[in-house]
Structure 1
Amino acid sequence: MIDFGGNSIIYGILAAIYPAFQLIGDPLLGKWSDRIGKKKVLLVSNIGTFIGWIIFLVALLVPVWSIHNIDSQVAGSFVITLPLIILFLARGIDGITGGNISVANAYLAYVATDKDRSKNFGKMAISSNLGFIIGPVLAGILGATIYKEILPVMAAVIVSLITVIVIIFKLQESRTIEASSIVKAIPDEPEIRKVFSVECKDCFEIPNPKNLRIQHVFKLRNISYMPILYFLIFLGFNIYYTSFPIHAVSGLKWSMLEMGVFYSVLSGLMVLVEGPILREVLKKCSEKKLVIIGSLILGTNFVLFVFNSTLVAYVAIILFAFGNGLMWPSFMSLLTKQGGNVYQGVIQGVVSSMGSLASIIGLRFTIQLDWHNYLHHFRCGNICSNHSII
């Protein structure tokens, strides 16, 4: 990507394109999954991901045609090129159809029982962390060849195609919502209301899932505060994941190899905590307690990252693994229990869009931090090469 003409600001905007479009697409895909079935929406979403990676591959193969040169005091100097425009298009298409995680969560909530819900979300988190372990290693090996970025992107295209094939032939469709199931989303009222043969009627209508608007999610019983919590959790994660690499390079003086080892160790610890450790802890603690305990551990972990010590950083990721591994599957389990089977798609879509909003804010924080760093080096007459181009 170093020849595409962009600088660090453009790179940050490009990174924010995916969550920005996801912010729009996730609630719509979630709502449609409740109406027409989650398998169909998962298929559409993953086809969009496949097309997005195809366009991404095209961007790497087309000649670098300069369209316009820009020299701005705000955004710096960069060149708008044809591959850069195609990359923005690819990330936009992938983002607008990128509701596969939220719809997959809704599907898992639909097929899971209350007894094994947290364990199932723990298994999904383990799969994600294994992807974070295998993905960078595979990309690093493929990217080290003479073909550079082309092979990793081709691998992403193949993986996306395999995912589409698996959904078509292996995934069973979830049942669509029936009108008779609407009442199941509302808890039964106490029978004491019928004392003396007088029954009070609630002054509200239960929204039909097929006509449910996104704003209704914030009015559903026991759900209204969950998207806010989801946003705050993701905001903390995104600020950490986007700002820690800067701290590691400037404060801890780590190399790329040390950074890769660090994140591999973190992912391995997460797999351990979200697997056997979580299963044992769930036998003794409720999900609500685990959300609180995990959040406190996470808060302690983030405080430790302010120290410029490699030893303290590794102590912090142990706390990170335990805090997130106990908190996140328990939180997702509580969210799906409160939503029931009726509104899972739209609820997951809305909370996922809140996560996308947190991602945009976290990326903007990093862009601003990186830009201040750029200005500092500029004033000192020592501009780093990685701040001038992608």
Structure 2
Amino acid sequence: MSTVNKQISIFPLLLSNFIGTMGFSIVLPFLVFLVIDFGGNALIYGILAAIYPAFQLIGAPLLGRWSDSIGRKKVLLISNGGTFVGWIIFLIALYVPVWDIYSIHSAILGSFVITLPLIILFLSRTLDGITGGNISVANAYLADISTDKSRSKNFGKMAISSNLGFIVGPALAGILGATSYKETLPVLAAVFISLVAFLVIAFMLKESKVKIDKPAATPSPLVDISEKESIRQVFSCEPKECYKISNPKNLTFLDVFRLKNISLLLVLYFFIFLGFNIFYTSFPIHAVSGLKWTVTEMGVFYSVLSGVMILVQGPVLRKALQKFSEEKLVVLGSLILGINFALFMFNSTVLVYAALVLFALGNGLMWPSFLSILSKRAGNTHQGVIQGVGSSMGSLASIIGLIVGGLLYNWIGSLTFLISAVVIFIVFIISFKLLNLKKPV
């Protein structure tokens, strides 16, 4: 296998990521209202949110390993196809009768009713989760086509494309959800958007790992697909040339942890996602019950947050990388994030928006830098499987964080945000070890 082509344009990947994120974020402002209307509470909202990472925990390592063997593009198609079907099932949930199946009244779990629409929503999230390796595979794709010089910049661009999606998605939800059709139009938009993302990958994205092995009597050079492949070959109208795909040694979950310095990064991956997801469950419930926000106010919050994050992950991150190493930005960003989560404890919209700025600054400096460090340490050979295991660590932390966040908010209310702050301060302390790591060869 020759070296990976660094000349492939990242625009189709950024476009696909933007479209996919927009499709996901379009339901964020009203999902908590939908769960409550269907009979759920904070715990059910947390469990519903945890279903996706729970099944992603199963699917992401497999998809990551497949991407190392069969190529990134095929796996991204599988993942986005699952998302498209998942949104169709989600749409069905809006139109089935709200039949009560089982009700629970508990001092620990709270009061809620399991209804038919809730079950269908769970099915939708399950399918999307089991095929949800798109983030880790997209990160591996980005690592394939990045040089050491462009790596941080490319991961910053990926973060910006996500945040643009998070601006447009909630804004669309606010506009479409204000009509008499309520949640139907935003979900229909999510179905259409996920289909567009699938088509962008299918027709615009070039493969980053697959090479062509020219048949000959003597050993033949490997030629990049993009130089030889025609549209007729893609649709099997012409005979295809013989593809030779890299098949690196399969690493088990434990093998990945034994790789030098990878275990430290995976532990950080876990705690980052744990702190964030305790917050992600708690905040929508807090916005509804504590701050008394409407769907429109929720949409404005998510849009403003994403807008500030774009500013941070664009010019601010570029300036910061000129003065500080990626390792130092992880340390600084995690400190800012810990302070941010503590501010959410107060029932004050002013403090919430102050926390929003700190959230954007801390996350914008830390997360792209962390992903860049991980991709450098992973190298080329096992990039997909290491990104997949990282995604699994994130998924495991998300499952725990989302469910625990729902339970904690039922018990202690806004003090739950203090737990998120403590977890991120743990990340801050552990991340000092990154400063002592030797540069990868």
The two structures have a TM-score, normalised by structure 2, of 0.72
Residue in 1 that maps onto 2:335: 296
Q: Matches of 1:318 and 1:240 in 2, distance apart? A: 16
Q: Is 1:103 the counterpart of 2:143 in the alignment?
A: no
Q: Residue 252 of structure 2: which of 207, 213, 219 is its match? A: 213
**1:1-390 correspondence runs (5 A):** 1=34, 4-66=38-100, 68-73=101-106, 75=109, 78-176=112-210, 209-248=248-287, 256-372=295-411
CA RMSD of aligned residues (A): 2.5
8 Å contact from structure 1 (residues 18, 92) kept in 2: yes
8 Å contact from structure 2 (residues 253, 389) kept in 1: yes
Greater relative contact order (Cα < 8 A, sep 6+) = 1
Q: Matches of 2:184 and 2:293 in 1, distance apart? A: 27
Write out per-residue CA displacement over residues 27-58 of structure 1, whole angstroms, 9 at most, x where no aligned residue. 11111111111111111011111111111112
Give structure 1 stretches of 5+ with no counterpart.
Answer: 179-207, 375-390
Q: Matches of 2:346 and 2:96 in 1, distance apart? A: 45
CA pair 328-11 structure 1, distance change in 2 beyond 3 A: closer
State the identity as a percent.
Answer: 71
Partner amino acid, structure 1, of 2:302: Y
Q: Matches of 2:403 and 2:392 in 1, distance apart? A: 17
Write out per-residue CA displacement over residues 59-118 of structure 1, whole angstroms, 9 at most, x where no aligned residue. 22334444x333443545554443332222111111010111111011001111110111
CA pair 149-254 structure 1, distance change in 2 beyond 3 A: closer
Residue in 2 that maps onto 1:187: none
Write out per-residue CA displacement over residues 224-283 of structure 1, whole angstroms, 9 at most, x where no aligned residue. 211110111111222233323455556656555444433332221110010012112222
Q: Secondary structure at the match of 1:148?
A: coil
Partner amino acid, structure 1, of 2:301: F
| Count of residues paired in the alignment | 344
Q: Matches of 1:306 and 1:11 in 2, distance apart? A: 20
CA pair 329-320 structure 1, distance change in 2 beyond 3 A: same
CA pair 87-319 structure 1, distance change in 2 beyond 3 A: closer
CA pair 306-145 structure 1, distance change in 2 beyond 3 A: closer
Q: Secondary structure at the match of 2:323?
A: coil
More divergent stretch after superposition (253-262 vs 46-55) = 253-262
Residue in 2 that maps onto 1:185: none
CA pair 86-321 structure 1, distance change in 2 beyond 3 A: closer
Asked which structure has the greater CA Rg, the reply is: 1
Q: Matches of 1:20 and 1:365 in 2, distance apart? A: 14
8 Å contact from structure 1 (residues 56, 86) kept in 2: yes
8 Å contact from structure 1 (residues 46, 160) kept in 2: yes
Residue in 2 that maps onto 1:192: none
Write out per-residue CA displacement over residues 334-375 of structure 1, whole angstroms, 9 at most, x where no aligned residue. 10001111111111111111111222222122221343379x
8 Å contact from structure 2 (residues 43, 403) kept in 1: no
Q: Secondary structure at the match of 1:69?
A: strand
CA pair 318-209 structure 1, distance change in 2 beyond 3 A: same
Q: Matches of 1:122 and 1:49 in 2, distance apart? A: 24
Partner amino acid, structure 2, of 1:48: G
CA pair 14-259 structure 1, distance change in 2 beyond 3 A: closer
8 Å contact from structure 2 (residues 163, 307) kept in 1: yes
8 Å contact from structure 1 (residues 274, 325) kept in 2: yes
CA pair 128-4 structure 1, distance change in 2 beyond 3 A: same
CA pair 126-252 structure 1, distance change in 2 beyond 3 A: same
8 Å contact from structure 1 (residues 69, 80) kept in 2: yes
Partner amino acid, structure 2, of 1:112: S
Residue in 2 that maps onto 1:181: none
Q: Secondary structure at the match of 2:305?
A: helix
CA pair 251-283 structure 1, distance change in 2 beyond 3 A: same
Partner amino acid, structure 1, of 2:102: N
More divergent stretch after superposition (276-285 vs 107-116) = 276-285
Q: Matches of 1:21 and 1:286 in 2, distance apart? A: 35
Q: Matches of 2:160 and 2:99 in 1, distance apart? A: 42
CA pair 261-142 structure 1, distance change in 2 beyond 3 A: closer
CA pair 95-299 structure 1, distance change in 2 beyond 3 A: same
